[in-house]
Amino acid sequence: MSEDRKQKPTVEIARTVRRVAFRQRYRMVMAAPFAWLIALPLAAVLDLLSEADVESDHIPHPFNPAVPVVVAAALSAWPLVCALRARRNVAAVLFGAAWLMVALAAGPTGLVAQVGMAGWLVFALLHWRRHRRLPLPSRTPEPVQEEPEVVVEQVEIDPEVSLILKRFNERLAAKGKALENMTMTTPKRIEAGHRSEIRAVPGDKTTKDIMQAAEKVASAYQTTTQLAVLEPVPYGDNSRAMFTLLEGDTLAKVRRFEDLQPRIQADGRAHIGYFYDLQPAHWAFFTKSGGMRHGIIVGDSEAGKSRSVETLISLAHLSENVATVLCDPQGGSMPDWNGNTHRCALGEDDSMAEVELWHWVMRRRVHHLARIPWVDEDGDERRGKTHLTPGDPDAGGMTGIFFVLEEAPELLTHDVHGKRAVHVLASGAKTWRKGGCGILLVAQDPNMTELGGSVTLRAQLRKNACALRTQTPGAAYQMGLPHDPSLLPATFKDGSLTGGLAYLNGIDRRAALMRWLYTEKPKYIARQPAAGRIDDMTLGWIEEFQAAKKEGREPNAGGSRRAEQPRSTPGDVKAAILDVLADAGGDALELGEVLHLVLKRRVVAPPSEINAQLKRLVKDGRVWPVKKDGAEAFALPEEILERVSL
């Protein structure tokens, strides 16, 4: 029992005693005037004693006449002292003392008695009137604290902000308007204009409903959709959208690749342009967690599609860890780069042969990566990797391949090579990433006809999705974009062309309007020696494939015949055990369950080795033994601690 509970009965008893005592004190205070009524019979008794005679013995009067006065003064002394100290009832005490002296001297009869009763009644009424509302302890009013005076600072609102809010409330949020019952936060000043949030009633409208009103929002502010921009909020609230009202065409200015000299960074990202709010836009060539990334660029003629591709090829050309392969079925789409990439194929036949070559090479790479030994961050020996990160020292610095297929529909819809090309590329979009190859597919439109009818191919390429101005409105849905790229203008307000203006959805997770950096003279970059090179192992596989084709036979795919798999290292066994326990969803697994699930992961090790490595993990504290239905089981420490905390 806590100290508070122990003290509570005592506190209650003390409080009750104080309350009862106070109530009795209240009654005593209210009954105080009646105490003076004792003076009347007292005066009468003293008067009778002073007049009595002892007739038989002729005894003299027993009292001296001064005795009543002394008695009256003695009876009044103490009440008078208390009244003077308290500075209350002084008049009543003085009146009582004087009346008592007179009554003892003259007798408490007749007029004296009447005056005494009248005076008692007057002072009693005054006393009761003063004490009739004496509060009890439980009803004691708390002192009222005066609230400090609130000083409201008058802040002058920016006239531009007031106008933005006024137009929103009157033209968009009013009853019957496009964004009825929605609200807008106070716009904040940014470098390019003003930014705020449009908030719908949760559960009533969604971000998509706000985005679909983009044209009406632009109309309300009497501007274009390029200057009144809507996009989802970055923190994922599906009832809100971010609204930016630009003061001018921020993307009208041409920003040159040569001036900024961007490069592919260590994390695989590269600066390729600017969003409408002048924030940098990036393209992810690869990520350390997933390897090479695919992408797709679509756009109409004169929309800046080729210049955008040239920017990406320039970045790959200047990277030490990436090699470029250019396939151009049309033959003349990128004259500055023809023959200046690591490998180049022009025309439908050569492009198809190049696709077949890299499909075979990527299979060899994947088989090789599945067997390379390496040491993880815990110091455990491992064997095999799920994907290649370009320049990985564990893989011998193997180069990433940037595979560009220009004018892709020319090959994907070809009478002879079309079906095979679609099949190989759709398969490559799922598997080439593991071997370190990222596909960039370039087309004018992302519809199924252009891509040979492969939904898989288009879906796998949308990790980096860029849509310049297109002819058909369906590109927004097909590319996973919230805006329709067919509505992009051909010119800015100043009459300059909008080449490179696009919607980008990629590593920045914005799906917003941007403009590509402009490579003024790509021929100068193309003539420079490439910073990277295709690694020797990959070159050997290329030569093996070409030699087999010249001999008229199919090259060995490497690992097509089942070979004896090497035994898993202790590090691989430990990693498999930890993965199995992590996938258990917090449940403890018995020894038999652990062995079964580890072997299902194709770990080449006997059960005794798995059991030995499990014991080592327990000894190291990375796995904790627990009891499950009376039997020994195992779980990860973080899973156990999480359950205990819950």
pLDDT of residue 642: 61
By the 10 Å C-beta count (0-12 exposed, 13-18 middle, 19+ buried), 160 is classed as middle
299-313 average pLDDT score: 91
By the 10 Å C-beta count (0-12 exposed, 13-18 middle, 19+ buried), 356 is classed as middle
267-280 average pLDDT score: 94
**In the predicted model, is pLDDT for residue 611 greater than 80?**
yes
pLDDT digits (tens, 9 = 90+) for 500-524: 999 998 899 888 899 999 988 899 9
Which is more confidently placed, 90 or 329? 329
65 within 8 A of 5, measured Cβ to Cβ: no
Say how many CA atoms lie within 13 Å of 156 toward its Cβ. 2
In percent, the amount of the chain with pLDDT more than 70 equals 80
383-391 average pLDDT score: 91
546 within 8 A of 356, measured Cβ to Cβ: no
Q: Which range (129-133, 325-329, 393-397, 488-492) has the least confidence?
A: 129-133
pLDDT digits (tens, 9 = 90+) for 97-143: 777 777 766 666 777 777 777 777 777 777 777 766 555 444 444 55
> How do strand 465-468 and strand 295-298 relate by DSSP bridges?
parallel
For residue 451, what pLDDT band results from cuts at 50, 70 and 90? confident
**In the predicted model, is pLDDT for residue 371 greater than 80?**
yes
- Mean pLDDT over all residues of the chain? 82
Give pairs for 622-630: CB < 8 Å, separation 24+. 622/578, 623/577, 623/578, 623/581, 626/588, 628/588, 628/590
> Does an H or E element contain 295, and which?
strand 295-298
Q: In whole angstroms, what is the distance from residue 390 CA to residue 291 CA?
A: 8
Which is more confidently placed, 218 or 53? 218
Query: Which residue(s) pair with 373 in the sheet?
Result: 383
Q: In whole angstroms, what is the distance from residue 423 CA to residue 367 CA?
A: 21
For residue 146, what pLDDT band results from cuts at 50, 70 and 90? low
Write a three-state SS string for 314-355: HHHHCCCCEEEEEEECCCCCCCCCCCCCCEEEECHHHHHHHH
pLDDT of residue 6: 47
Q: In whole angstroms, what is the distance from residue 622 CA to residue 609 CA?
A: 17
SS3 category, 402 = strand
Q: Which range (93-107, 141-155, 265-279, 440-454) has the least confidence?
A: 141-155
- Cβ atoms within 10 A of the Cβ of 199, count? 18
pLDDT of residue 629: 79
285-295 average pLDDT score: 93
565 within 8 A of 370, measured Cβ to Cβ: no
Q: Burial letters for 586-601: b for 16+ Cβ neighbours within 10 Å, e otherwise?
A: eebbebebbbebbbee
Query: Which residue(s) pair with 240 in the sheet?
Result: 199
pLDDT of residue 53: 44
DSSP state letter for 484: -
Sequence-separated (6 or more) residues with CB below 8 Å from residue 41: none
For residue 14, what pLDDT band results from cuts at 50, 70 and 90? confident
Q: Sheet containing 322-328: which strands, arranged edge to edge? A: 280-284, 269-275, 512-516, 501-505, 465-468, 295-298, 437-443, 400-405, 322-328, 343-346
**In the predicted model, is pLDDT for residue 325 greater than 90?**
yes
DSSP state letter for 620: T
For residue 22, what pLDDT band results from cuts at 50, 70 and 90? low
As a dihedral over the C-alpha atoms of residue 73, residue 75, residue 78, residue 79, rounded to 10 degrees, the angle is -100
Amino acid identity of 25? R
**In the predicted model, is pLDDT for residue 169 greater than 90?**
yes
247-251 average pLDDT score: 88
Query: Which residue(s) pair with 502 in the sheet?
Result: 468, 514
In percent, the amount of the chain with pLDDT more than 90 equals 40
SS3 category, 228 = strand
Residue (of 240, 311, 336) closest to 464 by Cα position: 311
Residue (of 442, 450, 492) closest to 467 by Cα position: 442
pLDDT of residue 206: 93
32-55 average pLDDT score: 61
pLDDT of residue 404: 96
Q: In whole angstroms, what is the distance from residue 272 CA to residue 280 CA?
A: 8
**In the predicted model, is pLDDT for residue 40 greater than 70?**
no
> How do strand 624-628 and strand 437-443 relate by DSSP bridges?
unpaired
For residue 32, what pLDDT band results from cuts at 50, 70 and 90? low
Which is more confidently placed, 312 or 79? 312
pLDDT of residue 24: 65
DSSP state letter for 626: E
For residue 199, what pLDDT band results from cuts at 50, 70 and 90? very high
**In the predicted model, is pLDDT for residue 477 greater than 60?**
yes
By the 10 Å C-beta count (0-12 exposed, 13-18 middle, 19+ buried), 65 is classed as exposed
pLDDT digits (tens, 9 = 90+) for 400-448: 999 999 999 999 999 999 999 999 999 999 999 999 999 999 999 888 7
Q: In whole angstroms, what is the distance from residue 17 CA to residue 289 CA?
A: 75
492-507 average pLDDT score: 89
DSSP result, 495-510: S-B-TTEEEEESTT--
> How do strand 228-232 and strand 240-246 relate by DSSP bridges?
antiparallel
Which is more confidently placed, 138 or 301? 301
What is this structure's pTM? 0.66
275 within 8 A of 422, measured Cβ to Cβ: no
Reading the block at residue 165, the tokens are 């809010």
**In the predicted model, is pLDDT for residue 542 greater than 70?**
yes
pLDDT of residue 568: 78
pLDDT of residue 504: 92
pLDDT of residue 525: 94
